[in-house]
Each structure stands twice: as C-alpha cells, then as structure tokens.
C-alpha cells in the first residue's frame, strides 16, 4: 500500500452558513410570494430588501418560478378572474411550504449545533443509547 493511500482524507464538512442562508432565502421568498398573492400589487419593502441581500451575496435570481399573465384577448374582466384563481392556487401551495419550513426550523437548528459540535452529538447519542438500554432492562425486569 502506498503512503498516499494510508493518509486519511481530510474531513469534509457542510457549509453551515450557506445552508442557513439557503433556508432563510427560501423562507423569505415563500413569504414574499404569500404576501404578493394574498395582496396583489402590494410589496413588502422590508422582505424585499432582506431577499436582495441574498441576491447580492449569491448572485441568484430566486428559487420559485414566476407567473406572468398576458391579456392577448383584451378582456380585463376575464383576466381579473384568471389572476384571482392563480393567486388562490399559489397560496394553496406556498402556505403549506412555509408551515413545513417553520415546523422543521428547530430540527435544522439542532442539526447546525451538531455540525458545530460533533463530539457533543456523539456523547448525546451514547447517553441516549445507555438510557434506552436501561429502560429496556427495567421493562424486562418488570415483565418477570
């Protein structure tokens, strides 16, 4: 075996800052989409500026696709009905996505702490294993 193959590969780690930024940018974009669809024509300047920070930092144009309505028939009333239906449909998609991210947020934070302190996670897993083994032993004794 050559000396090169004996060397350990460097540990690869997740870029926690980038993952946090991705999740925050996605959450912001979903919130903006929610507000735009709930209140067409009204922009939330604060959320827009927060999103712009990520656009500047990562040079991306957004995660979500956009819908542009083009009135090629010349019927404003029909267009208003179509637009209202599209806003409803987009809200039906965006709101559960926001709720899912909100539900997962504490788990993400736990994962980020685990990445920052991997030794603590190993110790916690060991302690959990010991506690589970003790519980199983207690259950076995009670069954006898």
pTM score, whole prediction: 0.69
State pLDDT tens for residues 15-49.
889 999 999 999 999 999 999 889 888 888 999 89
Instruction: Determine the pLDDT at residue 114.
Output: 80
- Average pLDDT of 99-106? 94
- Calpha distance 101→50 (Å, rounded): 18
CA distance 94 to 88: 10
Band (8; pLDDT cuts 50, 70, 90) = low
Give residue 67's pLDDT.
79
d(CA 83, CA 58): 31
Q: Which of 66-80, 87-101, 115-129 has the lowest mean pLDDT?
A: 115-129
Which position has the higher pLDDT, 5 or 82?
A: 82
pLDDT at residue 112 is higher than 60? yes
């Amino acid at each position: 075996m050559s000396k090169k193959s004996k060397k350990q590969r460097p540990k690869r780690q997740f870029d926690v800052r980038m993952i946090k930024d991705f999740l925050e940018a996605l959450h912001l974009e979903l919130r903006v989409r929610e507000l735009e669809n709930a209140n067409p024509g009204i922009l939330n300047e604060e959320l827009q500026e927060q999103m712009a920070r990520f656009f500047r930092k990562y040079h991306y144009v957004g995660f979500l696709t956009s819908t542009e309505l083009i009135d090629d028939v010349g019927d404003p009333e029909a267009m208003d009905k179509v637009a209202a239906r599209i806003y409803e449909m987009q809200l039906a998609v965006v709101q559960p996505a926001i709720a899912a991210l909100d539900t997962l947020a504490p788990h993400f934070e736990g994962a980020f702490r685990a990445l920052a302190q991997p030794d603590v996670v190993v110790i916690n897993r060991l302690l959990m294993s010991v506690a589970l083994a003790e519980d199983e032993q207690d259950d076995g004794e009670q069954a006898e």
